[in-house]
Chains A and B, each alone.
Chain A
Amino acid sequence: MAELIALYICGVIALFAALRCLIEKDTYLKLPYLNVMNFAVAGIIVLVLNHPLSLLAAVAYFVGSTLEANAIASAKAGGVQND
């Protein structure tokens, strides 16, 4: 039960951040909530399976999702300014 509490907290954080990200109107305000949901999902990946290689999967997902969110933010910010 002790390790399940962390899993419940990560699930609630992921659901809240996803709802808040999809409800928000402004595109720039969506991106921090996308990052929050990615962190919660990385925590779920580590906690859901007891395997030494699951840490590697969580690190790969963390790097990839952070790169994706920041690429979207960079393209949205740079595309308008460059015009």
Chain B
Amino acid sequence: MEPELLLGLAILIIGAVAAAFPRPKTYLSRIIVLEIPAWGLLLMMLAYDEALALLTFIAVTAISTFVMVRVVERRGEP
């Protein structure tokens, strides 16, 4: 078993638990913590040798973070 796959699974589980129960319960900390499982999923895609999936997933993660920041900014205080 490759080390990237094991590390990606560990990061994915840590990030999912942390995003479900964030430490201060605000939208900002939830957005920041939501980036941890994204990097874990990227490590797992790396273990399966999917270059096009990696490039697409990076772009989609950046765009979705931008959209969530705009939505929280428009809505105001949590």
Direct contact of A and B (CB under 8 A): no
Tell me the B residues contacting A by CB distance below 8 Å: none
Tell me the A residues contacting B by CB distance below 8 Å: none
